[in-house]
Amino acid sequence: MDEKKLAIVATKGTLDWGYPPFILASTAAALGYSVEIFFTFYGLQLLKKDLSHLRVSPLGNPAMPMPVPMPTLMMVLPGMEGMATSMMKSKMKAKGVASLDELRELCVEAEVRMIACQMTVDLFEFDTADFIDGIELGGAAAFFEFAGESDITLFI
């Protein structure tokens, strides 16, 4: 039987949206899948060596559980994004959830192939020296080579 393959497109670059691609990729790799993640647009933030700049926006997440119900208008107030980010990090730590750095490192150790979209790197003038080691640069065609043969393809 051929090796199973999982292809993921990661387009979001916030703290909360950083978890799904790395959780799914590391789990699939542990189950024996060959895994590739194509990072494009804001998803490129997840490849930076330093992830401390990633935030959670309560405004963009209306289903985000809050300790006290808050009207949407309150979410635009200064400091709400910092509060939401702090709450998310505290909750993750209290529940024993691995950090994004740890999950990403699991992916690296499991040989998950990570491709940074060359067009988006150029468009936003990213410095690839800011990315973790082992990242490949490639275009959509490089991703389609793998995704076209994949058993599962996810857009996150």
Contacts of 114 (CB under 8 A, 6+ apart): 36, 37, 39, 47, 107, 108, 134, 135, 136
Distance CA 37, CA 6 (A): 9
Does residue 125 come out as left (phi exceeding 0), alpha (psi in the -120 to 50 range) or beta? left
Q: Output the six-digit token pair for 51.
A: 């992830």
Give mean pLDDT, residues 23-48. Answer: 98
Contact 91, 19 (CB under 8 A): no
Tell me the pLDDT tens digit for each residue of 118-150: 999 999 999 999 999 999 999 999 999 999 999
For all residues of the chain together, what is the average pLDDT? 90
**Residue 67 predicted with pLDDT over 80:** no
Distance CA 33, CA 150 (A): 10
What was the pLDDT predicted at 51? 96
**Residue 64 predicted with pLDDT over 70:** no
51-65, 81-95, 137-151: lowest mean pLDDT where? 51-65
Helix axes 15-30, 80-94, angle to 10 degrees: 30
Domain 5-155: CATH superfamily, name plus number: DsrEFH-like (3.40.1260.10)
What was the pLDDT predicted at 74? 66
